[in-house]
């Protein structure tokens, strides 16, 4: 029986795939279903945003010192609510909260910590532009309640067990992977029946890219490596598809989703103002890196594979270069030349 039939409902797809793994407990499947529900609720909130007076700044500043939009807070609450039952997730690390949200009722049985960017690209909200949500699931080593934030970070598995994102565009899509050669699956929400349906099975990034995505307004803030890389992307070389076109929406999820489907590279280098980069490792860079690698692409900090960057803090940042393997190895050689 094929489990990759276009139109298969997310719940059925998860259940049928789970059945292929002897000894699977169903817990990761249940967790993915909770994440799916959160995506549907955020999609609904976004579709009514302009009508319900929930657009705009909330008046709060988040842990990153960024202005929080009302919908950032709403999406955050939706994710926390999704994990509140089922005893699966004792802690959620989210962009919007300095300390993890602890769910003590899930402490005894919960095996997973989820890292989320509840709403990515939220500065696009006021202009009805694209936004997304990003999630990453990590297993907990050892039992018992977390004694501190450091204890949580020390005890989450270095490997993600699942990762993905929602992209809220003309349609809402869920793209995720459970790793270990299970592939990257894309589902599209049918709002009429409130179900995610399999629309993009086994996504592979094209070997040759068409586009690069970067905030090139910062070019003079970048180091020599990315500055030379962008010149290379713009230089003519017809057999290798250069020059690349530029597409940049200001929402990491939308931009990386385009790269995943069309090929190319997204990058957010370190700048003089942000020497560690802007994007966060645990709920932006690492989950997207897992998806892109599983789809045949690559993700780098410039000097290191993103999935090998040591995990030190909940909100640590990293430069990010993510896309096709050819583009990422070209970038790394420009960075090596810069430091040689």
Measure the CA–CA gap between 278 and 87, rounded to whole angstroms.
33
Q: Are the C-beta atoms of 256 and 288 separated by less than 8 Å? A: yes
Near Mn ion by CB under 5 A: residue from 75, 80, 94, 120: 120
Measure the CA–CA gap between 320 and 47, rounded to whole angstroms.
30
User: What residues contact 66, with CB distance under 8 A and at least 6 apart?
Assistant: none
Size of the site for ligand AHG (CB under 6 A): 11
| 66 lines the binding site for ligand AHG (CB under 6 A) | yes
**Contact region for ligand AHG (CB under 6 A) — 23-31, 120-128, 160-168, 324-332?**
120-128
CA 317 to each of CA 184, 285, 290, 301, 306: distance values in angstroms, whole numbers, following the listed order: 25, 9, 17, 10, 11
Measure the CA–CA gap between 149 and 311, rounded to whole angstroms.
13
| 332 lines the binding site for Mn ion (CB under 5 A) | no
Q: How far is the CB of 61 from ligand AHG (least distance, A)?
A: 12
| 255 lines the binding site for Mn ion (CB under 5 A) | no
| 122 lines the binding site for ligand AHG (CB under 6 A) | yes
Near ligand AHG by CB under 6 A: residue from 39, 110, 121, 186: 121
| 264 lines the binding site for ligand AHG (CB under 6 A) | no
| 120 lines the binding site for ligand AHG (CB under 6 A) | yes
Dihedral sign (CA 59, 65, 70, 76): negative
Cα-based torsion angle of the residue sequence 62, 163, 190, 83 in order, rounded to the nearest 10 degrees: -60
**Contact region for ligand AHG (CB under 6 A) — 14-22, 34-42, 74-82, 117-125?**
117-125
User: What residues contact 232, with CB distance under 8 A and at least 6 apart?
Assistant: 242, 330, 334
| 252 lines the binding site for ligand AHG (CB under 6 A) | yes
Q: How far is the CB of 119 from Mn ion (least distance, A)?
A: 5
List residues binding ligand AHG (CB under 6 A).
66, 95, 117, 120-122, 215, 250-252, 278
């Amino acid at each position: 029986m094929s489990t990759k039939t276009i139109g298969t409902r997310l719940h059925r797809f998860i259940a049928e795939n789970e059945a292929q793994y002897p000894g699977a407990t169903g817990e990761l499947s249940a967790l993915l279903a909770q994440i799916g529900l959160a995506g549907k609720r955020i999609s609904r909130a976004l579709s009514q945003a302009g009508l319900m007076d929930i657009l705009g700044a909330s008046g709060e500043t988040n842990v990153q010192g960024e202005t929080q939009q009302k919908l950032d807070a709403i999406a955050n609450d939706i994710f926390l609510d999704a994990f509140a039952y089922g005893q699966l997730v004792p802690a959620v690390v989210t962009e919007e909260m300095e300390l993890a949200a602890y769910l003590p009722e899930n402490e005894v049985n919960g095996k997973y910590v989820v890292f989320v960017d509840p709403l990515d690209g939220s500065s696009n909200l006021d202009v009805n532009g694209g936004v997304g949500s990003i999630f990453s699931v990590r297993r907990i080593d050892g039992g018992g309640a977390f004694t501190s934030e450091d204890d949580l970070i020390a005890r989450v598995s270095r490997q993600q067990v699942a990762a993905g994102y929602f992209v809220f565009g003309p349609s809402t899509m869920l793209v995720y992977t459970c790793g270990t050669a299970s592939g990257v699956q894309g589902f599209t929400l049918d709002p009429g029946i409130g179900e995610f349906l399999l629309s993009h099975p086994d996504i592979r990034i094209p070997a040759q890219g068409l586009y690069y995505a970067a905030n090139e307004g910062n070019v003079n803030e970048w180091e020599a490596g990315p500055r030379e890389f962008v010149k290379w992307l713009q230089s003519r070389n017809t057999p290798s598809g250069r020059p690349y076109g530029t597409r940049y929406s200001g929402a990491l999820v939308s931009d990386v989703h385009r790269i995943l489907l069309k090929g190319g590279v997204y990058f957010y280098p370190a700048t003089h103002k942000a020497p560690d980069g802007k994007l966060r490792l645990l709920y932006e860079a690492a989950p997207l890196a897992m998806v892109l690698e599983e789809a045949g692409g690559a993700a780098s900090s410039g000097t290191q594979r993103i999935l090998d960057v040591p995990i030190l803090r909940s909100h640590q940042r990293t430069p990010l270069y993510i896309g096709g393997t050819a583009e990422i190895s070209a970038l790394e050689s420009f960075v090596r030349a810069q430091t040689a």
